[in-house]
Every structure is written in C-alpha cells, then in structure tokens.
Structure 1
C-alpha cells in the first residue's frame, strides 16, 4: 500500500471535559495518514484517480470544529468520515494533539492516536 500523509494540521477547537475548555478553546495539531493504492494516479496524473488531500483536510477541519469531551471521540469521527467518503482508503491513522493542556504543569501537548483498516 501507498501512503498519503498530512502533517501538523493546525486548528483552534473547543474540546475537553472542563467547562472552560469548551468556552475558551485551545490549539490543536492533527497528523493524518491514509493508505491506498496510488498506482493508477501515479500513471494517469489525474486527481480523480487518487485520494484528494484537500478532502482529507476538510474532513479534519470540519470534525475538529464539533466539540467533543475526549480526543478519542473526535479522532474516531475523523476516521469514520474518511472510510465513509473515500472508498480507495484501505487504512488510516490519525493523531490528535492538544497543545498546552490544562494539567497543572508544564506539558507541551497530550495526544492520542487511532488506527483503522477497512473491513
């Protein structure tokens, strides 16, 4: 399988269990990779024959704009949409990082990663 990777998608969003997190918001970073057969697009040079990374970025931004208590929940929604909307994708990994989380200490970020394969 071949891989398309989007690295360091930066968004401002309102995720968290604390009420102030959903009011004030925070900076997030999302890394996304998808696996698909890219042989046809490599030969044809046609956008219709590949997984459009603009579409992937749109999915991330739209799902990150919907508040969730847990990063796991928003990551699952991203993966669900990828598999629902992009048939060529065979596997995907998404990493969602909350920058400067309110943990009562000096922590650069906290992140979760979810991986799925098409059934």
Structure 2
C-alpha cells in the first residue's frame, strides 16, 4: 500500500450559499490523498501501473467548475469521480479550502475534510 498526495491545487470557483459568492467567486485550495497498491509501479517504472496524479488533478479542476453551495458537496463529488475513474484507488482523503471566506471576520480560510474507503 502507498500514498499519493497532491497538495494545494489552486482553483478559482463560484461555490457558496450567498448569491454574491456564485457571482464573484473565490480562490480555493484542494489537497487530495489516495491510498493504492503502488508495489507494481515501484518495480515496473510504468505509468500504467500506478495512479496517475495528472488524471486526479484534471478531475479536481473539472468538478470544482461545477457550482455547489457547500464545500462538502463538491468534495464528495470529487471522491466519487476518482473512485469511478481510477480502479486502483482504495481510499481517499480530501480537503477543500475556501480562501478569505466571507464570514465577517479576519479568517485566512475555512476547510472541510472528507475521507472515504472504496466499498
């Protein structure tokens, strides 16, 4: 078993419950960690034998383009799509952070974290 982590994927998106958030948008950071059997890839040195992190980055960017009111919702969509498209992934942990959230205070970011095992 091994881990692949893609940290702080930067995207601009329009998530949020407030009308202004959907219009103006905000900066987001997404970190995703997947657990998979990486033994074969470690020996073969072939991309086909591992989890392609370029593919994961592509999934994150595409799913972040689809508006959601809640970060939990977009995070769950990303998880479900990774499981659908990448059979080698056994477990996923994801954080989705909204940078400078409009919550009436001096807050750098708000972050949700989801974890899921393949069923």
TM-score by length of 2: 0.99
What is the RMSD computed on CA atoms of the aligned residues? 0.4
TM-score by length of 1: 0.99
Distance across 2 between alignment mates of 1:33 and 1:93: 5
Q: How far apart are 1:28 and its partner, in Å?
A: 0.2
Q: How many residues get paired?
A: 119
**Correspondence for 1:22:** 22
Distance across 1 between alignment mates of 2:39 and 2:104: 49
Tell me, yes or no, if structure 1 residue 47 matches structure 2 residue 43. Answer: no
Distance across 1 between alignment mates of 2:118 and 2:75: 16
Q: Which runs of 5+ in 1 are unaligned?
A: none
**Correspondence for 2:109:** 109
**Correspondence for 2:67:** 67
Q: How far apart are 1:113 and its partner, in Å?
A: 0.4
